[in-house]
Amino acid sequence: MKRDRLMKINDLTWEIPEKYKNCMRVPGRMYLSEELVDIVEEDTYEQVANVACLPGIVKYSLAMPEAHLGYGFPIGGVAGIDIEDGVISPGGVGFDINCGVKTLKTNLTLEDVQGGVEELINRLFSNIPSGVGSESKLKLSHDELDYLLENGLDWALENGYAKQDDVIHCEEEGCITTADANKVSNKAKKRGLSQVGTLGSGNHFLEVQYVDEVIDQDTAEKFGLTKNQIIVMIHTGSRGFGHQVCTDYVKKLEKATKKYNIDIPDKQLACAPFDSKEGQDYFAAMACAANYAWVNRQVIASWVRDVFHNYYGQDTELETLYDVAHNIAKKETHTVNGEKKELIVHRKGATRAFGPNHKELPSSYQETGQPVMIPGNMGAPSYILRGTQFAMENTFGSTCHGAGRKMSRSQAKREYWGETVQKELSKQKIYVKATHGAVIAEEAPGAYKNPDKVVNVAHNLGISKKVVKLKPLGVAKG
């Protein structure tokens, strides 16, 4: 699709008309600045239009400001699909089910950690298994894993890896109750047994940051955030377990697509009616992977607390600000054409951004809307924003999840050398520890869009509003 086929609604909103493809049931709507429109790959526009062809989709096929090419759905894609006559699609969730971010706020300041960041990152790297094939320090039985899959953060609470406050300050309180471990393959469980509490590789990270700028003083106070405060951000997901769940169900739903005579423009959009056996089985298995990811981040958080307590003293506090999912499909109620409708909302590389007074938010965030964490990329700033009523009305309560890549990992490895990137970051007083240099090259800040420009679109549009800006001090990567 060429740029001239897009309809400009306003400076930050673009539409792919419903008539662009015969199969489109709704228009495509993308939230981009003029500059970002030119960066987005043409195939991403095609994916937005393809998603608009799915049965039951309502209002728009949406793309958030970081939109780029994904599997079937674009990364940054959001689709609200009627559960009565619509479908569920693994491509709309992705392979790293419930990849997401947990953010811990500490009672330390920039002054407290100066001179010690390198040692802190080395200790975190040593204590938290990282990288491809890394194995957990936990040894779970098959029965314990099944319990974890169906109970999420309650497992962490019962086994000493979480506090009640961690559970309250987690999307869905860390458990989708429709999870059914019987719907997960033995192969997926085998991969999951040894990976609870591991960071993984690629863009996953554990980053120590500080609050560089307070943008919304009132909300920052309500979130408990102050200038120069030390923050820890954990970005990881369901590891090989979630990947295997997705792989298993893509095959099953490809068959279901034919069985139910669903016409789709791209086989990567394989899907099944939500209320069919195949659709319900995938939803139950995906929920297991979502619960696994929330526990994974929580166990890592517990070990992060241990490292901080050993290094800075037992009175060091690390409280959960919030934990949000990036890749997930959830049953939610939204207003469509003036009527409340129950939808299966697919967020693929997008963050929930529920506004004030939503019943699913904890009491501490009823007045402000939920915290939204948008991580940067090693050298670039991260942001904490808040959800808005505008998002509820226009994006099914969703916003962007990161800056979004502007080049593939293979291209990044051709253009960057890990050791050089590490030295450049060191000049900015950012210490990076990784399993190998290729990971640093793949994730070089230059391989991503400028997070300031992506977040500014979300902020200026109003699908989430900036609260504080964070700058990195040190990063541990898989």
Structure-derived torsion over alpha carbons of residues 38, 43, 47, 52, reported in degrees to the nearest 10 = 70
Q: Is 327 annotated as a binding residue?
A: yes
Q: Is residue 395 part of a domain?
A: yes
pLDDT in tens, 7-35: 999 999 999 999 999 999 999 999 999 99
Q: Is residue 178 part of a domain?
A: yes
Q: Is 96 annotated as a binding residue?
A: yes
Q: Is 326 annotated as a binding residue?
A: yes
Instruction: Give the integer Cα–Cα distance in Å for 91 and 286.
Output: 12
pLDDT in tens, 255-306: 999 999 999 999 999 999 999 999 999 999 999 999 999 999 999 999 999 9
Q: Please check the confidence at residue 338 and state whether its pLDDT lies above 90.
A: yes
Q: Determine the average pLDDT of the residues in 97-110.
A: 98
Q: Is 376 annotated as a binding residue?
A: yes
The CATH number assigned to the domain holding 272 equals 3.90.1860.10
Q: Is 82 annotated as a binding residue?
A: no
Degrees, nearest 5: CA angle 83-276-51: 55
Structure-derived torsion over alpha carbons of residues 14, 17, 20, 24, reported in degrees to the nearest 10 = 110
Q: Is residue 172 part of a domain?
A: yes
Per the model's pLDDT, the better-predicted residue between 292 and 441 turns out to be: 292
Phi, psi of 378 (to 5 degrees): 60, -75
Q: Please check the confidence at residue 355 and state whether its pLDDT lies above 80.
A: yes
**Chain centroid, CA 468 distance in Å:** 19
Q: Please check the confidence at residue 132 and state whether its pLDDT lies above 80.
A: no
> Which pLDDT band, with edges at 50, 70 and 90, does 440 fall under?
confident
Q: Please check the confidence at residue 134 and state whether its pLDDT lies above 90.
A: no
pLDDT in tens, 376-413: 888 889 999 999 999 999 999 999 998 878 788 888 88
pLDDT value for 2? 64
Measure Cα distances from 59 to 36, 80, 180, 335 in Å: 23, 8, 31, 10
Q: Please check the confidence at residue 316 and state whether its pLDDT lies above 90.
A: yes
Q: Contact at 8 Å (CB) between 65 and 77?
A: no
Handedness of CA 110, 115, 121, 124 (dihedral sign): negative
Q: Is 146 annotated as a binding residue?
A: no
Q: Is 382 annotated as a binding residue?
A: yes
Q: Is residue 28 part of a domain?
A: yes
pLDDT value for 7? 94
Q: Is residue 25 part of a domain?
A: yes
pLDDT value for 269? 98
Q: Please check the confidence at residue 308 and state whether its pLDDT lies above 70.
A: yes
Q: Determine the average pLDDT of the residues in 232-251.
A: 97
Instruction: Give the integer Cα–Cα distance in Å for 205 and 157.
Output: 24
Q: Is 68 annotated as a binding residue?
A: no
pLDDT in tens, 211-240: 999 999 999 999 999 999 999 999 999 999
Q: Please check the confidence at residue 110 and state whether its pLDDT lies above 80.
A: yes
Q: Determine the average pLDDT of the residues in 351-369.
A: 97
Q: Contact at 8 Å (CB) between 351 and 399?
A: yes
Q: Please check the confidence at residue 419 and state whether its pLDDT lies above 90.
A: no
Identified catalytic residue from 358, 401, 436, 459: 401
> Which pLDDT band, with edges at 50, 70 and 90, does 325 fall under?
very high
pLDDT value for 273? 98
The 3-state secondary structure of the chain, one letter per residue: CCHHHCEEEECCEEEECHHHCCCCCCCEEEECCHHHHHHCCHHHHHHHHHHCCCCCEEEEEEEEEEEECCCCCCEEEEEEEECCCCEECHHHCCCCCCCEEEEEEEEEEHHHHCCCHHHHHHHHHHHCCCCCCCCCCCCCCHHHHHHHHHHCHHHHHHCCCCCHHHHHCCHHHHCCCCCCHHHCCHHHHHHHHCCCCCCCCCCCEEEEEEEEEECCHHHHHHHCCCCCEEEEEEEECCHHHHHHHHHHHHHHHHHHHHHCCCCCCCHHHCCEECCCHHHHHHHHHHHHHHHHHHHHHHHHHHHHHHHHHHHHCCCCCEEEEEEEECEEEEEEEEEECCEEEEEEEEEECEEECCCCCCCCCCHHHCCCCCEEEECCCCCCCEEEEECCHHHHHHCCCEEECCCCECCCHHHHHHHCCHHHHHHHHHHCCCEEEECCHHHHHHCCHHHECCHHHHHHHHHHHCCCEEEEEEEEEEEEEC
pLDDT value for 210? 98
Q: Is residue 352 part of a domain?
A: yes
Closest C-alpha to 298, from 161, 400, 404, 112? 161
Is residue 309 part of the annotated active site? The answer reads no
- HSE-CB at 312 with a 13 A cutoff on CA atoms is 24
Q: Is residue 15 part of a domain?
A: yes
Q: Is residue 1 part of a domain?
A: no
Q: Is 313 annotated as a binding residue?
A: no
**% pLDDT > 70, the chain:** 100
- Label residue 457 left, alpha or beta by phi (over 0 means left) and psi (-120 to 50 means alpha): alpha
Q: Residue length, the chain?
A: 478
Q: Is 402 annotated as a binding residue?
A: yes
* Domains identified in the chain, total number: 1
Q: Is 204 annotated as a binding residue?
A: yes
Q: Determine the average pLDDT of the residues in 242-266.
A: 97
Tell me which residue range forms the domain holding 122.
Answer: 7-477
pLDDT value for 478? 75
**Mean pLDDT, the chain, as a whole number?**
95
pLDDT value for 1? 65
